[in-house]
C-alpha cells in the first residue's frame, strides 16, 4: 500500500536552514569556550493571510530580544544569561546553551515592515508577517503619435 504525503517545500526549506544554522554554529565551538553560542529552534508555517515564525526562547527575558525587518529579511537576536555556575563533581552533563545569538530568515518579497507583529509568551517568540498583496498587472494604453 502506498502512502501519499503532501510535499511542503517551504517547511523543508526552513528545516534545512535550521539544520545549517546549527551545523555552522557547531563548527566554531571549541574546548574551554566560556560563552557558547546557540541557535534556537524555529517553526515556520503559513495561513491564508500571513507567514508565522515561532522561535523557542526559554529563559530569555523579553528585554533581551531584538527583532528587525530590513530588505526582506527578518533578524532575531537575543541573549540568554547563565544564572548560576555549578562547581560540583557530580555534574554529569552540560547541554543548555547560554550567550547571544542572531538568526536571519528571508521574508516574502514586498512585505510591509510596519505590519509585522510579534508576541512573546511562555518562552515562544511568535512573529506574524502579513503576506504582501499580489501585484496586479497594469494595462498600459499606447498613444498614437502623428508624424508631420
pLDDT band at 147 (very low <50, low <70, confident <90, very high): confident
Phi, psi at 91, each rounded to 5°: -85, 115
Euclidean distance between CA atoms 6 and 64, whole angstroms: 38
9-26+37-82+96-130 has which CATH code? 2.60.40.790
pTM of structure: 0.62
Q: In what order do the strands lie in the sheet with 99-106?
A: 65-70, 73-80, 99-106
Span 104-115, pLDDT tens digits? 998 888 888 899
Residues 6 or more apart whose Cβ sits within 8 Å of residue 61? none
pLDDT digits (tens, 9 = 90+) for 83-98: 666 666 676 666 777 7
In whole angstroms, how far apart are CA 83 and each of 47, 86, 96? 38, 10, 12
pLDDT classification of 67: cutoffs 50, 70, 90: very high
Domain extent listing, the chain: 9-26+37-82+96-130
Amino acid at each position: 500500500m502506498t502512502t501519499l504525503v503532501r510535499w511542503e517545500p517551504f517547511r523543508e526549506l526552513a528545516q534545512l536552514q535550521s539544520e545549517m544554522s546549527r551545523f555552522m554554529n557547531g563548527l566554531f565551538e571549541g574546548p574551554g569556550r566560556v560563552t557558547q553560542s546557540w541557535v534556537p529552534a524555529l517553526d515556520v508555517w503559513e495561513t491564508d493571510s500571513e507567514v508565522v515564525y515561532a522561535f523557542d526562547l526559554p529563559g530569555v527575558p523579553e528585554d533581551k530580544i531584538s527583532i528587525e525587518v530590513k530588505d526582506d529579511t527578518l533578524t532575531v537576536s537575543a541573549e540568554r544569561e547563565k544564572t548560576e555556575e555549578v562547581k560540583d563533581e557530580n555534574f554529569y552533563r552540560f547541554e543548555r546553551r547560554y550567550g547571544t545569538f542572531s538568526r536571519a530568515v528571508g521574508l516574502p518579497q514586498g512585505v510591509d515592515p510596519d505590519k509585522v507583529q510579534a508576541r512573546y509568551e511562555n518562552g515562544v517568540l511568535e512573529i506574524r508577517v502579513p503576506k504582501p498583496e499580489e501585484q496586479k498587472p497594469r494595462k498600459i494604453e499606447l498613444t498614437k503619435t502623428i508624424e508631420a
